[in-house]
Each structure stands twice: as C-alpha cells, then as structure tokens.
Amino acid sequence: MDIEKIVSQMTIEEKAALVSGTDSFYTNPIPRLGVPGLCMADGPHGLRKQIDLENNGVSRSEPATSFPTAAAAACGWNPDNLRKMGESIAEECRFYGVHTLLGPGVNIKRNPLCGRNFEYFSEDPLLAGILGAALVEGVQSKGVGVSVKHFALNNSENYRLMGNSVASEKTMRMLYLKPFEYIVKHARPATVMCAYNRINGVYCSENKWLLTDLLRDEWGFDGVVMSDWGAVHKRVDGLKAGLDLEMPGDTAICRKWILDAAADGSLPMEVIDKACIRILKWIDKYCIPADKKPVDWKGHHALAAEIAADCAVLLKNDGVLPLGGAEKLHIAGELFGTMRYQGSGSSNINPTEVTTPEAVFSTHGIISVSADESDVIVYFGGLTDEYESEGLDREHMRLPDNQITEIEKLCESEKPVVLVLFGGSPVELPFADKVSAILNMYLPGQNGGKAVYDLLFGVKNPSGKLAETWPIKYEDVPGAEDFGKNITEVYKEGTEVGYRYYNKHDIPVRYPFGFGLSYTTFSSGEWKKTGNTYTQTVTNTGGRAGAEVAQLYINGELAGFEKVYLEPGESKTVSITPETTDDRSWPDEYVVPEEPPRFPVTLESRFTDLNQSFIGRILFNAVLSIAKKQIKEAERMPDGPEKNDMRKRALFMKRAMENNSLRSLSMNAGRRMPYNYAQGFVELTNGHIIKGALRFLKKIKVPKLPKEEQ
C-alpha cells in the first residue's frame, strides 16, 4: 500500500471517515482507493468476536477459548504463560478474521474494590509491564495487532466515564504509567487505547501531554491511538492531542466537527493527515485475510487448564492437601457445579466448552458423602457475577453472606475444611484460621475444573504467587474511605499502593504480595551482586517436583523475578539484571478541584443524576427497562450456560447504563442516538421543554460514508 499517495488522493470527507470507526468494531473502508476495513474484537484473555454488529454492547459472540483472566495469569509470574496464551488467541483471531485484539488491560490495581481488577495484572508496575508485554508479543507474533488499555489512570469503575483522576506527576510516572511505558518500549504494540476518565481535569481522549508529549515524543510510540468505546468528547481537540481513531464511530457529530474545523482552518490538514497515515500503516500491516486453517480448540482448552494450574495460589495448607484419593469427601458450595471462570463485561467470552470441578470429579468417580461420613470437607466459594463486574466497583470486600454462614457452619464440624476460591479480587477471610487449606484459583478460564482437580489431588503442585496484597480487612487499604465515592478521585496516597504501603507502615496483611505455598519446600541463597547483575541459587529441598519464584527487591520495590521449575534435590542459579531506573525527580503536587454540581445535569452527568427531575426519571427508567427486561427473560430460561451468559450480559448492561453519561451513550450508540438527541434529553431533564424539542428536530447533516457512495 502506497500510503503517502493514498493520503494525497483522499478527500477531506474520506479522511474524516477514516479517523472514525464504523459498525461497532471496524475502521471505515475507502473503496475508491482500495483501503479495506480493519476488524477489531474484545479481549484480552480470549476472543469476543461479536456476532450482532448492530449492537456494540455485550452481545452474542463466536465460540472462543476463555483463558484465565489477568488476575489469575499474573500469579504464575511466568511470561511464557502469557506468550502461549497470546499466540493461541491470535490463532483464533486469524480464524475469525479479526485483525486487532482489544487488550491487554494493564492498569495498576490501586484498590481491591475496583470492579475490573479481574482484567488487570497487578499492583506492581514491573510485574504488570513484563506480563503485559509477553501477551502483546504472543499475539503480534501471529500477525494480529493489540490495543494496550486503558491509558491511563483508569483505576475504578463507578465514575470511569466522567471521573477526574487527580494525581501528581511523580505518582503517575513512578507507578501508573510504568506498565504502559514498559510495553511500548519492549513490545511495540500496534495500538494504545485511551481511557474514558480525565487526568487532572483533562479527558484522556484530548490530553496532549499524555497522548503526544509522553507516549509518542518521550516513549517513541509510533502506532495508532484509539479511543475507548464512547470516550470521545471534543473530537477536533482529540485529533490535535494525538487521538487518531474514534471508536466505535458512526457519530455524525464528530465527522461534522472535523469537516467544519477543516473548512475554517482551525484543524490543520497536517494534523488529520498524520492520523490517517498512522491508521493506514496499521491497516496495511495487520488487515490480512482470515486464516481458514482449523484451530486446535482441544489444544487451547488443554492450555487453559495448564496455565490455570501454574497460576493457582495455595494460600494455606496444614497438611490436608494434596488429597490422596482415598478420603471420603463432603463437597459443598454453589461454585462446584457453576464454577465462575471469567469476569463480566466486554471481556465476557462465549467458551468453546466449560469443564467444571463437578464434571472432573464425576469423571474420576468422586462423589460427595454427608457434614458426618466425611473425612474432609471441600467447599467451593468466591465472588459471583452479582458482586464483581466491569461497570461498577464492589461495595465491600466480603464474600456473599450466605457463603460466610455456610463456611462457618462447616468449620464447626471440626473436620478439615478445604476452601477453593474463585473470583477476580481479594476478599476478606474472617474464617482463615478455622479452615485447613485455601486454594485460590482466581478466575481460571473455561478448563478451570481440571486445574482444580489436578491441584487438589497432587497431579500438579501449586506454584502461584500473589500478584497483589490480600488485606485482612478493607479498612486497611490506603484511601479506603474515599475510593469510588465521587467524580473526583484524588490519588492522595501517591505511590503508596499495595505492598509499598503495607510494608512502609508496618500494617499486617492476610497474605502478602508474592506469597504462595507449595507441596514441596525450597531454599534460596542470598542475592549476590556482580556489576549490575544479581544472582541467587534456588534448591528444591522437598520430595516433589515444583516451582519457585525468585523475587529481587531493591529499596523495597520489585526489581526483577524468575520462575524456576525444579525436580526434588535440583538447584538452579537465577540471574537478574534490573531495568535501568529513571532517576529524574518529578513534581509531587496536585490541585484538587471543587466537585461539580449535580444539577442542572449536563452531557457529562452520571446517568443516575437524571433521577433529580420528573422527566429525567422517566428517561432513566425507560433506558434501564431494556436491561431489566433482559434480566427477567434470563430468569425464565432453563438452567444452563445460556441462561448464565444472558444473565451476565443483562446485569452488565444495567450496571454500565447506570454509570453512563448521555454524551458517552450517544458516542457509543452512533446512529441509534444522535448527539442532538443527547442534547435534547439534557434540556428536557432540566425542564427546558421547548429547547429540548428543538434539539430533537435539528438533524445533524454530514456526507455519506465512503462505503455508502458505491
């Protein structure tokens, strides 16, 4: 593709179309010049190739492998897991004709209540960066691009569409920006996705310091910057700031803004040309025909279990595990048969198959006996979809009340109780001293049942290490009292997040960062330094093959790591050369703005704020009625995976709508809710009936898209 020639031949109408998406997950083709449309699809722990392109929400999708989520995969501390996962996902992308995967998500886990933490790796920027880069390398090695997200400081869900993340430059550079910087410099991702939120008052989609000064000029990123879906505000300002592509597009108002600004000279042609060139380079490299080579679905299913087993964390064991097979087991807990293996939201995958613990136990002839015949009790619990999802933050850090009651009662039997946990984030464990063992699976993907069986019965040896701290109680978390409560999110704790905070202030935790038990034992020598390289010898001193993670800390921060797999009696010397540290000093000041008034409402108001007026309540309830109807339809369906999937999608839609804004709703819905409709709803909500009616009648006029000109 002769990109310079194509750009020189493009009309301004074609350029305005190219920098806008279409049909939810595509770039606009330019048929006259032979430019195809590039296909994107959600990730990051599996492919969500949506079937219904008329709906860019969480709709039905093609079958694909649901791998362990980032929260689980990170606990493997093994980049090879992520590379293999990335390669497999890319093969499925090629099969379905997807050119770019929307992931990985590498935002720092600032607070355990963030509803999207299951999709992120760690509280530590180095661990998140290394693992994120490995996934990028795996995907792109197969000719499929990625979109690293959500850039940046998108660390909560309640106000993610309009929230203002207030932080000092020191806090941003030393913690929240580091994973992105590492990935950009080491893995060269095809695209970066900017987040919804503001940073110190400026929306990410029009933040020149973030998208150009830092990302491009300082870090050397030369790919495409796209918006999160519906994250665009002032489109022309976004282009000038370095936002190349608006997604999902099909918004007449954004094309009109571009065309008008180009006509009056306020948008220099060189600005839009640069964006077009970057998009065309991306299309030229990654928009290749679908690979009809059959996918090894069974192999990918097996890989999902292999990764899940390598990443599971044994949090406690008084010797009851591994089970020998002769024990009489009493099995309890709703997640035994309905294992929660993935999160809710845009990453919700339609799995090729699901293997639950119940299915594997049944295959091996393991049956449950009564809380009197049993030798050991195994309880399967954790966070359900009602407690954890993209679109909202958790209200507390507890398990569901019914599970706490059940576990406490089982502990009264004085039989050994083994707790198998599922979920994307830490939970409070008030009964930790009463149970005999805790095996934390996080969200292990579609073949998690096999991983659970292999670990419980000693076929595999647990070797996962926590990629985040597990506090004893939520009140111990820095900034716990303010997190997710207001539109302005002040990062007043600075870089004291996770283990940095607990270690500095000597606050006891339930399980520390980097912790995980094994069925064997290890000894590790002292770290020895030669030049810039550190070495340590690790020995398996037990009777089982296993794996240990050598962790190097310098000045209290993780500086490097390596996972070693050792047979009994085997030793290995680990060699780590830490990344060169940036010794520049950064400003540590920030300005906290006043909270904006909730009324009158604006295009940026949280959707729930519409309830402040009579007409606003009518609109709010009308929109939410769609999701509520889907929830009711799901409840009427027969029990099974389809019911669970539909219910998850409906719950996510409800939560996402409640935390939406009229502007984002319009930018996401495209032709189904033009921008003037959003403006009209604002006027009506504020009691301006005539102004609202006039807004509805004033249609936004733009030329046809290039694909419609044929």
Spatial distance between the Cα atoms of 235 and 245, rounded to a whole number of angstroms: 10
Q: How far is CA 644 from the centre of its chain?
A: 21
Closest CA to 443 of 107, 158, 74: 74
- 228 as an active site residue: the answer is yes
Spatial distance between the Cα atoms of 233 and 678, rounded to a whole number of angstroms: 13
Q: How far is CA 324 from the centre of its chain?
A: 37
Spatial distance between the Cα atoms of 37 and 21, rounded to a whole number of angstroms: 9
Backbone dihedral region for residue 222 (phi beyond 0: left; psi -120 to 50: alpha; all else: beta): alpha
**8 A C-beta contact, residue 336 and residue 356:** yes
Q: How far is CA 375 from the centre of its chain?
A: 40
Which alpha helices (H) appear in 252-311, and where do they start and end?
Answer: 252-264, 269-286, 297-311
Tokens linked to 631: 């929830």
Q: How far is CA 387 from the centre of its chain?
A: 16
Question: In a 3-state reduction of DSSP, which class is residue 73?
Answer: helix
Q: CB within 8 A of 58, min separation 6: which ones?
A: 345, 346, 348, 649, 652, 653
CA dihedral sign, ordered 447, 453, 455, 456: positive
**8 A C-beta contact, residue 414 and residue 41:** no
Bond prior to 29 in cis (omega within 30° of 0): no
Closest CA to 111 of 306, 394, 455: 394
Burial call 516-531: b when 16+ CB within 10 Å, e when fewer: bbbbbebeeeebeeee
The CA–CA distances, whole Å, from 353 to 82, 349, 357 equal 21, 11, 13
Spatial distance between the Cα atoms of 515 and 560, rounded to a whole number of angstroms: 15
User: For residue 613, what is the DSSP state?
Assistant: S
What is the Cα gyration radius of the chain? 26
φ/ψ (deg, to 5) at 536? -150, 140
User: For residue 325, what is the DSSP state?
Assistant: S
**8 A C-beta contact, residue 51 and residue 338:** no
Helix (H) or strand (E) holding 316: strand 313-317
Place of tokens 């597990």: 470
User: For residue 604, what is the DSSP state?
Assistant: T
Spatial distance between the Cα atoms of 12 and 73, rounded to a whole number of angstroms: 45
Could you say which of 228, 250, 476, 645 is catalytic? Answer: 228
Spatial distance between the Cα atoms of 219 and 214, rounded to a whole number of angstroms: 6
Q: CB within 8 A of 653, min separation 6: which ones?
A: 57, 58, 626, 627, 630
Q: CB within 8 A of 572, min separation 6: which ones?
A: 537, 538, 564, 566
Closest CA to 360 of 389, 333, 339: 339
Tokens linked to 455: 């670990």
* Cα Dmax for the chain: 83
Beta strands in 87-201 (DSSP E): 100-102, 145-151, 164-166, 191-194, 198-199
Beta strands in 87-208 (DSSP E): 100-102, 145-151, 164-166, 191-194, 198-199, 202-203
Residues marked active site are found at 228
